Amino acid sequence: VDHDVHHPLGDDAYDYSRFHSLPPLMVAGPGALAVLSVVIGFGVGPLLDPLVGSALGKDIHLHLFPPDGVNLAFALSMTALAVGAAAFAVRSVWLRWPFPALASGPQVYRWVVGRVERLADLLLRTQGGKVRYYLAAILISVVILLIPALISADQLGVRAFSITILGAADVLKLILLVLALGATLASIIFAKHLLAALSLSIAGYAIGGIFLLEPAPDVALVQFLVETLITVLLIIILARTSERERRTVIARVWEQTRRGLVRDVAISATLGAAVTVMALAAVSSRPTPNPIAAWHLANAYPLLGVNDVVAGIITDFRGTDTLIEITVFGVAALGILTLLARPNPGRTMQWFRRTPATPAPTEPPAAKDAIQEDAERPDPFVYRSHLNSPITRLAAVPLLPISMMIALAHILYAGAAPGDGFTAGVISGLGVTLWYVVFGYEQVKQRLRWLHPAGFIGAGLLIAFTNAILPLFFGRDFLALTAISGVSIADIKLASSLVFEIGIWLAVFGGISAILEAISHPKEVEPV
């Protein structure tokens, strides 16, 4: 072996001088396999015909040599064996030829890993920390993906698309659409965060009104509830952020050159036009109108026994999607609570302890006085509600149980009227939100000791997945519907979908409570 040969991927070649012959026992195993392969090869018919025939259930005949004489496959096999034997016989000649040195496996691996790391370093240079650049890259990618479909307008059927106003309802839809667009534009233009948040909520309410006129009462109800919840959460976040920090953020948003502003407007307009054309083409190019919706309308009551098609879709037709959605929402809410809040470790650990925590050592009087003084000092990060008055407290206290009762009605009658586990979770979450707005974090934790977001999320997911998996033990499908026929209590349908709705409600309510606790917590990891 020539030790002076340099490898193209590195000079750390193996030291072949350390190699030695294998022990006889290590050679015996491969040798036995080689002998068996020769024996079985020559005796392939008598040895393997009975085994393979019994496995396949029919008579077969295996041959080492073609029974009908030499064919092309046999000739190629013999040629390969002859060439291999000849190359081995003259190996002393071609081994002296100046072949280029081949890289070893570890060298190839290190080369590939090095190139991947260089590519990763190049990609990391694009991560500058500005969300607008990330968003621009995503939007540009979407436009590029839509370009092939937008090349021919005739193919998309856009030229045949027309808008027809049939009555006053269509005029009202058009007005709500203009209101939504104007409110969205206002949320971008307004420099004050509160006005921008309110404008965005107006756009959401306008979209909900369009859903209501379609009519799609379930979707409209969810839209109204979610917009209300998001608006309140944004107001709480703004109340916890100082005016100086808000001004700094808005100044950074608008501190850009005219060229940057034109670029952002061009990207937004291009994406909006592309998505609009695709949406119009999708609507006008359908071979039949609303085929999936028609199937759901025709099969909701015969298959599930529910009048509300949306409830049937959520709990049965697309129940797996619902399971995934509540799981993602619950995990995301717990992540927000973990990242934004700084919970009390002692209080958290008491959840999992059956025995009382070890009492803290007694502090000397001087230390106690110092701790008391620190506790009485105002904390700049504590959210103190300015709405805590006798009137607001009088409104907040009864509204929480009322919201729970409304949520219970949505769960029990989900199959007969608009509303389901999602709307029940948002409604009950709005009741808790009012408590956080009026009383503040500390008062809520003291008064609502039963409010443990992680427990609600875990219970909801456990109930939902148990309801989905349990039919498998009885030989039925995943999420199969189980209903008690002939039994009705106050027109409530007793079925497994009711259990599923309860799980959805607990998961959504726990997720909303976790988000509220995170943004209302008096201590944060870092200032906003």
197 pLDDT band, cuts 50/70/90, is: confident
Letter string b/e over residues 270-289, b meaning 16 or more CB atoms within 10 A of that residue's CB: ebeebeebbeebeeeeeeee
Alpha-carbon gap, residue 407 to 418, rounded angstroms: 12
Two tokens at 345?
């470790």
Closest to 19 in 3D by CA, of 1, 38, 46: 1
Residue type, 206: A
Q: Determine what percent of the chain is predicted with pLDDT higher than 90.
A: 18
9-31 per-position pLDDT tens digit: 444 445 556 667 888 889 899 99
* pTM for the model: 0.63
Compare 112 and 315 and report the one with higher pLDDT: 112
Compare 408 and 10 and report the one with higher pLDDT: 408
Report, as an integer, the average pLDDT of 372-390.
53
Report, as an integer, the average pLDDT of 323-348.
75
Burial bucket for residue 129 (CB in 10 Å: 0-12, 13-18, 19+) = exposed
123 pLDDT band, cuts 50/70/90, is: confident
Residue type, 127: Q
**pLDDT of 495 higher than 90:** no
116 pLDDT band, cuts 50/70/90, is: very high
Alpha-carbon gap, residue 365 to 369, rounded angstroms: 6
**pLDDT of 285 higher than 50:** yes
Share in percent of the chain as helix, strand, coil (round to 5): 70, 5, 30
Residue type, 164: T
DSSP 492: E
Alpha-carbon gap, residue 285 to 124, rounded angstroms: 42
DSSP 490: T
441 pLDDT band, cuts 50/70/90, is: confident
Q: State residue 458's pLDDT score.
A: 92
Q: State residue 150's pLDDT score.
A: 63
What is the per-residue DSSP string for 299-326? HIIIII--S-HHHHIIIIITHHHHHHHH
Asked if 203 contacts 223 with a C-beta cutoff of 8 angstroms, the reply is no
350-372 per-position pLDDT tens digit: 433 444 444 444 444 444 444 44
**Contacts (Cβ under 8 Å, ≥6 apart) of 346:** 357
Alpha-carbon gap, residue 74 to 363, rounded angstroms: 94
162 pLDDT band, cuts 50/70/90, is: low
What is the per-residue DSSP string for 164-191? ---SHHHHHHHHHHHHHHHHHHHHHH--
**Contacts (Cβ under 8 Å, ≥6 apart) of 304:** 312, 316, 415, 481, 497
Report, as an integer, the average pLDDT of 118-142.
78
What is the per-residue DSSP string for 341-386? B---HHHHHTTT-SSPPPPPPPPPHHHHHHHHHHHHSPPTT----T
